Amino acid sequence: MLSRLVLLSASSLKGSGPIGAGVVQATRCLRTSSQSLAPVPPLPEEGGKVRHGIFPEEFFQLLYPKTGVTGPYMLGTGLLCYLLSKEIYIVNHETIYALTIGGIIVYCVKKFGPGFAEFADKIYEEQLAKAEAAKESSISILAKSIEAEKKEQWRVEGRGLLFDAKRNNVAMLLETNMRERLHMVTNEVKRRLDYQIALQNLHRRMQQEHMINWVEKSVVSSITPQQEKESIAKCIADLKALAKTSQAQAAA
């Protein structure tokens, strides 16, 4: 309590700046009264320094110029003797209780204090880490969302390509159709002309065959039996002559 009082008075006297560590990144809450709109300084990390657990350091610094280092101790001893000798403070049973309990308290704090402080600090660190993690994840999620939105906008920009492709398809189909029509016309005309030529060829061939057949038939029918006998006799005579010549050749 004493230390807090002195601390407050000290800060208001000296108008000190932030005692705590760290650079203030942005505006903290501002004092809202009309007289001063200055930003509130950050809270200090440690409490005020004390000597012997109770007496604030500022007290010793206060008396140092006038009485040196031993001044406050002399003051304390003298005050104690004055209180005891003038019986302003009476020693009774409760003094014993106070001294023993005070001793026990001091012993316990000295022994278990650091352990407990570590435990409390660990809890604090965990809370801090959780809050930090939440903040980091929020920041990263927001940044990723912004990225994603920009990417989607980039995608949307490409919508013209789709319509280019569609128009191309349509143009190609039309062109194909046109060419098919041209080809069909040409092919049809060619087919008709070729048909005419084939028809002519067929006619001529039929005429030829018919004429040949007719000539053959007339020749065969014109052969009389008398001519047939004569031709057969001539053939036999020719064959005999041929046989003779071939025999003569074989002998020679």
Partner 1 sequence: MAGRRAALKAVDWLAFAERVPPNQRSKFNALKTRSDAIAAKLATLPETPAAIDWSYYRSAVAKPGLVDEFEKKFKALKIPEPVDTQATIISAQEADANESAKAYIEASNARIASYEKKLEKFKNMIPFEQMTMEEYYDAFPETKLDKVKNPYWPHKPIADL
Q: Is 98 in the site for partner 1 (CB under 8 A)?
A: no
Q: Give the CA angle between residues 163, 165, 169 to the nearest 5°.
A: 115
Instruction: Give 169 or 245: the residue with its C-beta nearer to partner 1.
Output: 169
Instruction: Give 99 or 197: the residue with its C-beta nearer to partner 1.
Output: 197
Which residues in 34-63 contact partner 1 (CB under 8 A)?
A: 42-43, 45
What is the spatial distance between Cα 199 and Cα 185, in angstroms, rounded to a whole number?
21
Q: Is 87 in the site for partner 1 (CB under 8 A)?
A: no
Q: Is 162 in the site for partner 1 (CB under 8 A)?
A: yes
What is the spatial distance between Cα 180 and Cα 174, in angstroms, rounded to a whole number?
10
Q: H helices within the chain, ranges in order? A: 2-14, 57-67, 71-85, 93-157, 159-222, 225-251
Instruction: Give 109 or 165: the residue with its C-beta nearer to partner 1.
Output: 165
Amino acid at residue number 84: L
Q: Is 84 in the site for partner 1 (CB under 8 A)?
A: no
Instruction: Give 150 or 240: the residue with its C-beta nearer to partner 1.
Output: 150
Q: How far is CA 52 from the centre of its chain?
A: 60
Q: Is 244 in the site for partner 1 (CB under 8 A)?
A: no
Tokens of 121: 């600090």
In angstroms, what is the minimal distance from the CB of 159 to partner 1?
5
Which residues in 170-189 contact partner 1 (CB under 8 A)?
A: 170-183, 185-187, 189
